Amino acid sequence: MIPAWSDDMMKNWSDAQKRYWDAWADLSKMGQPGIAAQPAMPDWTQGLDQWWKAVSPHTVPGASTDAFQRMVDMGKVYMNLAESTYKVRQAGATGAEAIEAWMNSMESGFQSCCANLDAGKFSAHGFGAGQALLDSWQRVTKSLGMEAFQKMGAGGFQMPMSQNWQEQLDKLLGTPAIGYNRESQERLQALTQLGANYQEALDDYLKAFAKQGLESVNALRARVASLREEGKSISSLRELYDLWVDVNEEVYGKFAMTDEYQVVYGDLVNALMAFKQGVNAEMDSIYEAANLPTRKELNAAFQKQQEARREIRALRQQVQELSRKLDALSAVASAPAAAPAPVAEVAPATEPVAEAAPPAKPARRSKKA
Amino acid sequence: MPFQMRPDAILSEVKTFNEKLAQGVTNLMEVGEISSGVTPFEVVYTEDKLKLLRYVGEKEPTNTVPMLIVYALVNRPYMTDIQEDRSTVKGLLDAGQDVYLIDWGYPDASDRYLMMDDYLNGYLDNCVDFIRASHGVDAINLLGICQGGAFSLCYSAMHPEKVKNLVTMVTPVDYQTPDNMLSHWVQNIDIDLLVDTTGNIPGEMLNWTFLNLKPYQLMGQKYLGMVDMMGDAKTLKNFMRMEKWIFDSPDQAGETFRQFIKDFFQQNKLLKGEVQIGKYTIDLKNVTMPILNVFAEQDHLVPPDASRALNGATGSSDYTELSFKGGHIGIYVSGKAQKTIPPAIGEWLTKRS
């Protein structure tokens, strides 16, 4: 059920919508006498972001809002494309120069994404799939209870943002374990190493996508050149965006079947699992100390439960088989003394192992379930 | 010049986009609850989290041999009955079939030790026995979908006497065709480490994997396309219904996942006749009943060649292929599929029942 709206919610909602409509209505007046032209540096992406922040608290959480959030995210990417091309065209550049400027900007975005990952930082680059894939991956880590490690690079380990965070981490891991807490320190160092391995695997995965993004820019250049030779043109932003998606899927499709991708993909999953297993072990030791049931103990109980289910299933089948044989024997015993049928010729089993006994001939109802 | 847009044309496109978006969010608020599963049914049998559904058609079935749909453990079976005018189940009922479907439910931590043997020789076999007894028949028709198709093949090899006819839909048989992305990726994953660590496999992990198949389309282009259609409330609701299904991903029982990925994807044992389920070694030559193999030519999850590999692999002397020009999901939900696939399956089954 969708909850009823309060007056305040309704007012906030309609105010936000009105402001948004007004903003776009102003845009449509552009070119009319007395109306200022759009600035050379439009901020449509930011406008969309602000609007969504205003209206999204009033939407109902669930599949719809999730989908809409994804749509707004892609809308921002689209607005970013519009801004880039508009700015260049406003500055008097030709269409060819505008598209080249956009491709150059993407190229440098992917390059800086790679460079930042090398320095232990993550920078999203809207036109690659990296950010969306990363969001999706973070849902995976969240479902495993690993939200604390969602931040990239130094942030993931709550370390000061520095260019040499890996170096600092290595120093920490290299500290010899001594004294009363030696075992605990060794365990934590091992766990931190697993975390660092995961970080490295995630960086490699994202770098692979950034590299694929660079290849896609080159492939797009080739596609644009070929369009030019064929005398074809791109006449809308949407066509440009769709072309970019086509080129990316083509480049990605080949990349995804390479050994390189198989390795970064598998390493990412394996590294997260090794890290998670280490975290699980630490959690178990904490639970054990608090006299709480551990994951290991629960698993043992679940395993026994499953074995019991199997035994029950087998026993039910045996009981039914015996029951059938008993019925057959009773039938033989109560039959006239003529020619008794041997037990071995009894009809095959048709009785189901069911919690709900089947009707002899199932009745069909027409009411909606 | 390939790029012909003038600044005012860019402005106009931006304006149109944002107007559609603002209107769309209003429609979104009015979408209301998104129902799933439209055809009436009765729950005729339950066991643990499993429910066996029997669908009720508008007319009595003409085929006296009932059919059981075995859906995959991945995602939810209401895909086959997603909306009024997009329902494989309804199409099969209209084609005179008596349709049952297994809803496996959502496994929780207590189900992590469920093995393929439990699913096939336990749950599935119990459902088949229930239907056989209910109808007083020795064998029923099975229709397996995707992973459920692989399950149905294994079941038919173990219990051929209980399966009158077998229909496989978008079912992988050869898991290592050169174009199989999922298989390629999974080769470097330590499945034992994965299952030992997580127990059940989170549905979110499967979502991420499937989105990786076509990330730019599935995480980007699709949502921009949505902006164009959301002015129409009905179309928007249908989009949301699909969206709900796509992300409605049950966790996977750990031990079953372990065996399925290792034996089928990593070692391709089904074709080699090496899959071991309980006391049975799966030999596809034991699958002797008539087979209808339905696959999609643009399937990005189960490449057509992965399904075509069934030809010649079984002991059946009555093997038919039906290819559909569409994708893995389109074969159930596209308008074209509604008109062709269920009637064709119905006709094929009725001839042989």
* A200-216 confidence digits (pLDDT tens): 898 888 888 888 888 88
Which of B11, B203, B220 comes nearest A74 by C-beta? B220
Smallest CA–CA separation between A148 and chain B, in Å?
17
Amino acid symbol at A339: A
At residue B343's C-alpha, the angle toward residues B341 and B346, to 5°, is 110
Contacts of B301 in chain A (CB under 8 A): none
Please indicate if any CB of chain A lies within 8 Å of the CB of B33: yes
Please indicate if any CB of chain B lies within 8 Å of the CB of A366: yes
Q: What is the pLDDT of residues B1-18, one digit of tens each?
A: 567 777 788 888 888 888
Q: How far is CA B221 from the centre of its chain?
A: 24
**Higher local confidence (pLDDT), A324 or B35:** A324
Q: How far apart are CA B87 and CA B336, in angstroms?
A: 12
* pLDDT for residue B272: 97
* pLDDT for residue B18: 83
A363 pLDDT band (50/70/90 cuts)?
low
Smallest CA–CA separation between A363 and chain B, in Å?
10
- CB distance B290 to B166 below 8 Å: yes
What's the whole-number mean pLDDT along residues A349-354?
42
Amino acid symbol at B145: I
Contacts of B34 in chain A (CB under 8 A): 63-64
- Smallest CA-to-CA distance from A118 within A50, A204, A57 is with A204
Contacts of B136 in chain A (CB under 8 A): 350, 360-361
What's the whole-number mean pLDDT along residues A41-54?
76
Q: How far apart are CA B271 and CA B305, in angstroms?
A: 13
Asked about B127 being catalytic, the answer comes back as no
Nearby residues of A139 by Cβ (< 8 Å), 6 or more positions away: B204, B207, B208
- CB distance B319 to B35 below 8 Å: no
Q: What is the pLDDT of residues B272-289, one digit of tens each?
A: 999 999 999 999 999 999
What's the whole-number mean pLDDT along residues A86-91?
76
pLDDT > 90: percent of chain A: 21
Smallest CA–CA separation between B178 and chain A, in Å?
9
* pLDDT for residue B27: 80
Q: What is the pLDDT of residues B131-179, one digit of tens each?
A: 999 999 999 999 999 999 999 999 999 999 999 999 999 999 999 999 9
Catalytic residue among B146, B236, B261, B275: B146
Helix, strand, or coil (residue B166): strand
Which of A87-101, A177-191, B244-258 tops mean pLDDT? B244-258
Is B204's CB within 8 Å of A140's CB?
Answer: yes
State the average pLDDT for chain A: 75
* pLDDT for residue A280: 92
pLDDT at B201 > cutoff 70: yes
B231 pLDDT band (50/70/90 cuts)?
confident
Is A1's CB within 8 Å of B33's CB?
Answer: yes
Is B194's CB within 8 Å of A269's CB?
Answer: yes
**Higher local confidence (pLDDT), A341 or B268:** B268
Amino acid symbol at A188: L
The residue of chain A with its CA nearest to that of B178 is A257
pLDDT at B332 > cutoff 80: yes
A367 pLDDT band (50/70/90 cuts)?
very low
* Least reliable range by pLDDT among A59-63, B253-257, B265-269: A59-63
Is A350's CB within 8 Å of B133's CB?
Answer: yes
Residue A234 corresponds to which tokens in the numbers above? 């791109």
Contacts of A78 in chain B (CB under 8 A): 17, 224
Is B2's CB within 8 Å of A242's CB?
Answer: no
What's the whole-number mean pLDDT along residues A57-71?
69
The residue of chain A with its CA nearest to that of B238 is A64
Is A273's CB within 8 Å of B194's CB?
Answer: yes
* pLDDT for residue A46: 79
Is B223's CB within 8 Å of A358's CB?
Answer: no
Please indicate if any CB of chain B lies within 8 Å of the CB of A38: yes
pLDDT > 70: percent of chain B: 99
Please indicate if any CB of chain A lies within 8 Å of the CB of B187: yes
Cross-strand partners of B167: B143, B292
Q: How far apart are CA B170 and CA B319, in angstroms?
A: 15
Is B198's CB within 8 Å of A144's CB?
Answer: yes
Which of B4, B13, B223 comes nearest A71 by C-beta? B223
Q: What is the pLDDT of residues B25-54, one digit of tens each?
A: 778 777 777 888 899 999 999 999 999 999
A347 pLDDT band (50/70/90 cuts)?
very low
Amino acid symbol at A70: R
A129 pLDDT band (50/70/90 cuts)?
low
Cross-strand partners of B86: B83
pLDDT at A52 > cutoff 80: no
At residue B92's C-alpha, the angle toward residues B90 and B97, to 5°, is 120
Contacts of A144 in chain B (CB under 8 A): 198, 202
Contacts of A82 in chain B (CB under 8 A): 10, 13-14
Smallest CA–CA separation between B62 and chain A, in Å?
13
* pLDDT for residue B14: 84
**Higher local confidence (pLDDT), A254 or A57:** A254
A171 pLDDT band (50/70/90 cuts)?
low
**Higher local confidence (pLDDT), A27 or B194:** B194
Which of A2, A79, A366 comes nearest B56 by C-beta? A366
pLDDT at A346 > cutoff 50: no
pTM of the model: 0.85
Is B5's CB within 8 Å of A236's CB?
Answer: yes
- CB contacts under 8 A, A 223-282 vs B, are 224, 227-228, 232-238, 240-242, 245, 248-249, 252, 256-257, 261-263, 265-267, 269-270, 273-274, 276-277, 280
- CB distance B182 to B244 below 8 Å: no
pLDDT at B324 > cutoff 90: yes
**Higher local confidence (pLDDT), A247 or A28:** A247
What's the whole-number mean pLDDT along residues B322-341?
93
State the average pLDDT for chain B: 94
Q: Classify the C-alpha dihedral B13-B19-B25-B28 as positive or negative.
A: negative
A91 pLDDT band (50/70/90 cuts)?
confident
Give the other-Cβ count within 10 Å of B272's Cβ.
Answer: 11
ipTM of the complex: 0.91
Contacts of B215 in chain A (CB under 8 A): 129, 132-133, 252
The widest CA-to-CA distance across chain B, in whole angstroms, is 74
pLDDT at B268 > cutoff 70: yes
Q: How far apart are CA B108 and CA B103, in angstroms?
A: 15
